[in-house]
Amino acid sequence: MLVAFSVAPSGTGPKGGDNPEASVHDAVAAAVRIVRESGLPNRTDSMFTTIEGDWDECMDVIKRATEAVGEYGSRVALVLKADVRPGHTGEMTGKLERLEAALDAQA
């Protein structure tokens, strides 16, 4: 399965409150570190981090990343979208390769 997810702290915490310098980049970095250390195929862009693995692997990583972000605020917002396709692997790149081939065929 592929899971695209985003986590962000809110509420009060080390960088929360009325601090105008507050940003979520430190919290996101903590989450992305957990993702990268997991060994699962992953990709991070400006909006989401996508991981590939089975249910248990993906949900464990997402849970740990969410807990890490929780250190930066009193609440955590978690958004996720999953593409559950049993028996398929390599879809993080496979889906993009099929898209590019379709675009080339239409050109």
Residue ranges of domains in the chain, CATH in brackets: 2-106 (3.30.70.930)
Q: Which of 19-28, 80-89, 94-103 has the lowest mean pLDDT?
A: 19-28
* The pLDDT value given to residue 35: 98
As a whole number, the mean pLDDT across the chain is 91
Question: What contacts 2, CB < 8 A, 6 or more positions away?
Answer: 50, 51, 52, 82, 83, 85, 91, 92, 95
Q: pTM for the full model?
A: 0.86
pLDDT in tens, 54-96: 999 999 999 999 999 999 999 999 999 999 999 999 999 999 9
| Amino acid of residue 15 | K
Give the Å distances, CA to CA, from 77 to 7, 37, 66, 74: 6, 22, 9, 10
Residue of 46, 50, 43, 55 whose CA lies nearest to 24: 46
